Every structure is written in structure tokens, then in C-alpha cells.
Amino acid sequence: MGFDEKDFLACCGSSKFAMEMASASPFETLEDAITTARHIWFNKVDVHGWLEAFEAHPQIGKSPSPNHKSETSAQWSKGEQTTALATATGSSLLELSDWNAKYMQKFGFVFLICASGRSTSEILTELKKRYPNRPIVEFENAAQEQMKITELRLAKLFSTKAEAASTHDQQPMALKKKAEDRVSIIGAHLTAPLQEPADKTSQISSRTRPPITTHVLDVSRGSPAVGMDVKLEMWMNNQSRPSFDTTDLGGWVMQGFSMTDIDGRSGQLMNIVDSVNPGIYRISFNTGKYCPGGFFPYVSLVFEIRETQKSEHFHVPLLFSPFSFTTYRGS
């Protein structure tokens, strides 16, 4: 699909980003656009471009500036803050405003978070958590959050184009609902905290979900990857560590196995415990079974949880298509 600079400026307020995306357009799929967007944002847009994009966002809880560059961006900002505003009280909005001001004074740019689907209390918690960070760390955090927002808005952009192209169809309302559902799914993937089923919760742990979770989004379809096998393993060989240069010699021990549900979420891959055992973990996705004609027989992600992180939550999502994949650590 083809778009112009104005369209991409609505997705990200950096002029450099919009220009580069317009030059790379048209894109055959949303996945292609997201892949290109990530490359441009992290490799071509400089510090000034990042700050320009940050400045395009209103503070959480406030309306967009009358001097905004894009009417579409302003409308999307309002929509992305719907949950926050709906769950806000007078006191929570005042507290949020105070913390926004503290953040701005310390870092020099607006507190940035992909707010879609987040309550005011969740946003406040994240703001307070990030406030002690060093400026260089927080600058990177803001850039990552901007990318999440950009991906969500690219999905909206593609859905809008798809709706316009489908106006001749006899079931326009059904198509509109489908497009909205796709945006909602992608937005949930990027922002929403996981909710474990009631029968999976522990009676003795303060957690409400296992320390390690995942879910899979099929970006080629803009929908969850339903029915994909997932397994979690831990490295238990105390005599060695898995590395790039050595062959695995039976050190991996299964922790749990599950299949993604209708929302693309795996079932419980490990027990719900307050403190996860520090160590090296591997989470593997049976992408070959899910997509027999794809490029990847399976995808495995290896990561290490350190002693100081054992009380944290590790969400390892997979954005997958038959010929590419990406991941990041969520919260």
C-alpha cells in the first residue's frame, strides 16, 4: 500500500522518519512497513529526530496541543488515552500531572509510554518506576515506547486504507469490525498486561501469573497465532554454560509445554512463584508446524535471568510471519 509523508507523520512525529518511510513506500504488507519503520527509527533518525517525535505527544492525561502537526495524530492520541482517562479520578489525574512535571524537569522531554489499554494507575506505576533512571537509559526507553506507538498507528493506517478500498463490498460493517479487531489485537500485544486464567493462579504466591510468559502475533495476518506449540526450558548443567561456540550437551531441562490459545497466549509454562530461579532459559516456538511453508522450522530465544531480577516478570512475545520474526522483552 502507498502512503505519503503526512500519513507517516501521524504515526511518528519525526519529519526524517516520515520522509524516509514515504520514500520506501509502497509496502505490500503491514509487516513490511513495521520492519522498515524499525530500521529507519533506530538507524537513520538522529537524536534531534527522536526529540521531535517525543514533542509531538501530549502529556498523558492532557489534550493534544493546538499547534500539533497532524490532526490524525491528535485524534489517535485521544483514542490511545481512552482507558487512562476512563479509569482516572481527580486525585489520580493531579498526581499524574505532578509526576509528568517532575519527569519533564529531570529528562527534558515528555514521559512517553504506549498508553493504549493502560489504566491511569498502571501508567503512574510505570512513570514512578522509570523516574530514577539515568537520562541516557530513559532516552532509550522513550525511543522504544515511541516505536510501539508507531507500530500500533501503522496498523491503524493500514486498516484505514483497507476499509477505504473495501467500500464497494456488500458487508462494509463486518469489514470495519474486522479491521478494528486487528488494530485492537496488535495494540493489546504491545501494551496490555497479561491476565492468567483463574484456575492457574496460586494460593500461596503474591503473583497472579507465572514469572515467564509469552504470546504470539501473526503479523502477516494481523491476528494472534492460534495453536502454536511453545515450550520453556532451563539450562541445568552446572559444569558449563550454553554459548554460541559450543554444542548443547543435554543441559536443557523442560519446564513447561503449552499451545497458544485464541488470543495467541500460551498456557502456563511454569509454576506461579514469587521468585524465579536465576539462570539461563530457552523458549521455543514450533513455527514449522504452525506454518509448514515458512522459512523457520522453529524459533528459539535464549535469555538469562540474574539473581537481582528473580522477582521481576519476563514477558517474551513473538511477532511472527512465515519469513521473519522479531521479539523484545515486555513487562
Q: Which domain holds residue 298?
A: 212-237+250-327
- Same domain (yes/no): 228, 135: no
Residue 171 lies in a domain: no
The answer as to whether 186 is a domain residue is no
pLDDT band at 174 (very low <50, low <70, confident <90, very high): low
Give 245-298 as a DSSP string: TS---S-EEEEEEEE--TTSB----S---SSPPPEEEEEEE-HHHH-TTSS-S-
- Residue 226's domain is classified under what CATH number? 2.60.40.180
Binding residues for substrate: 215, 265, 328
Average pLDDT over residues 152-170: 67
Number of domains in the chain: 2
Task: Please answer whether residues 268 and 200 qualify as being in contact, where contact means their C-beta atoms are separated by less than 8 angstroms.
Answer: yes
Domain membership flag for residue 282: yes
The answer to whether 261 and 209 are in contact (CB under 8 A) is no
Global confidence as pTM: 0.53
* Radius of gyration in angstroms for the set of CA atoms belonging to the chain, rounded to a whole number: 21
CATH code of the domain covering residue 114: 1.10.3330.10
Catalytic residues: 57
Residue 70 lies in a domain: yes
Q: Which of 277, 288, 201 is nearest to 232 (CA)?
A: 277
- Between CA 265 and CA 262 the distance in angstroms is 7
pLDDT, residue 62, reads 67
Asked whether 275 and 206 are in contact (CB, 8 A), the reply is no
Q: Alpha helix (H) ranges present in the chain?
A: 5-11, 15-24, 30-43, 47-55, 71-80, 82-86, 90-107, 120-130, 135-165, 172-191, 287-290
Residue 296: CB atoms within 10 Å: 18
Q: What is residue 200's predicted lDDT score, i.e. its pLDDT?
A: 39
Query: For residue range 180-230, what is the model confidence (pLDDT) as tens digits?
Result: 555 555 555 555 544 444 443 334 456 777 899 998 988 877 778 888 999
Tell me, yes or no, whether 10 and 147 share the same domain.
yes
In a domain, 82, yes or no: yes
Q: Is residue 199 part of a domain?
A: no
d(CA 7, CA 76): 12
Residues 160, 21 within the same domain = yes
pLDDT tens track for 64-107: 555 566 778 777 777 777 777 777 788 888 999 999 999 999 99
Q: ∠5-189-228 over CA atoms, to 5°?
A: 120
Q: Give 273-320 pLDDT, tens digit per residue.
A: 888 999 999 999 999 999 888 899 999 999 999 999 988 889 888 888
* Domain annotation covers residue 59: yes
